[in-house]
Amino acid sequence: MELGIDGRVALVLGASSGIGRGIAGALAREGARVALASRTRERLEQATAEIEGETASFVADTADLERMAALPGEVAEELGPVEILVTNTGGPPPGRALDAGLEDWRDAHESLLLAPRVLVEAVMPTMRERGWGRIVNVGSSATKEPIPGLTLSNAHRPGLVGFFKTLAREVAADGVTVNDVATGRFATERLAANRGGWEEMERSAAKDVPAGRLGTPEEYGDLVAFLCSERAAYITGVSIPIDGGLLRSV
């Protein structure tokens, strides 16, 4: 299927590994010119070198909101104005409802809500002016069903979905789509760290996920690439689960 994004400029956050890298690779395979951003220079440069296509790397930490505001302009100088934005800010540390202190709550608010908002504000004027843009957030199934032990994620991620829904209605007529992906269990280092290692992660997925396995970053990347395509121009303002049937809600 021709996705119609050949030559489009994409900025993918958290792109040095895991889901972010899977997304960057999928967009590059479709011909997009991909800017990979991450806070770890060595892993970022390795990912950029291994992805085939026109790519560039930018060291950036979503905890630095001033850096987030400046990043799209730096991408524009090297590759061109950002036409596809994938916000992927990772997740806050796990914990029970009252485990985290107020500083942890502030950090989660900045990472999960303010960083995407700053990035969106930076790219939106050019997208609207050109009459074309795609924004996708790497979210969590916690926006559909709170996940035990992930209080900060459960509390903050739904707020971003609400912002995206509001924004999507305001910019739809300008040719800009805004969507969220409600992420289930994927084979990433972060999930392994949260679930006692790779073997335990795979064992629990075989038991709990109807598909009987973890998802792969490549599968995730394929979904995001479609949402960023010309073919998905009528899909906006939604949160799409990708979870192997894990969610029980309708």
Residue ranges per domain, the chain?
9-242
Top CATH class of 9-242 equals alpha beta
Cα angle 196, 199, 51 (rounded to 5 degrees) comes to: 95
Residues 13-53 pLDDT 10s:
999 999 999 999 999 999 999 999 999 999 999 999 999 99
Task: At 163, list the tokens.
Answer: 């912002």
Average pLDDT, the chain: 94
Task: At 62, list the tokens.
Answer: 């979503």
Cα angle 162, 248, 85 (rounded to 5 degrees) comes to: 35
Give the mean pLDDT of 101-123. 97
pTM: 0.95
Q: Report the percent of the chain where pLDDT is more than 70.
A: 98
Residues 180-225 pLDDT 10s:
999 999 987 776 666 677 788 888 889 999 999 999 999 999 999 9
Q: Indicate whether 244 pLDDT > 80.
A: yes
DSSP tag of 146: P
Question: So what's the pLDDT on residue 187?
Answer: 83
Identify whether the C-beta of residue 242 lies closer than 8 Å to the C-beta of residue 225: no
Identify whether the C-beta of residue 44 lies closer than 8 Å to the C-beta of residue 16: yes
Give the mean pLDDT of 164-192. 92
> What's the distance, Cα to Cα, between the start and end of the chain in Å?
29
**Using CA atoms, how far apart are residues 193 and 184, in angstroms rounded to an integer?**
15
Give the lowest-confidence range in 165-169, 177-181, 194-198, 230-234.
194-198
Question: So what's the pLDDT on residue 93?
Answer: 86
**Using CA atoms, how far apart are residues 116 and 95, in angstroms rounded to an integer?**
23
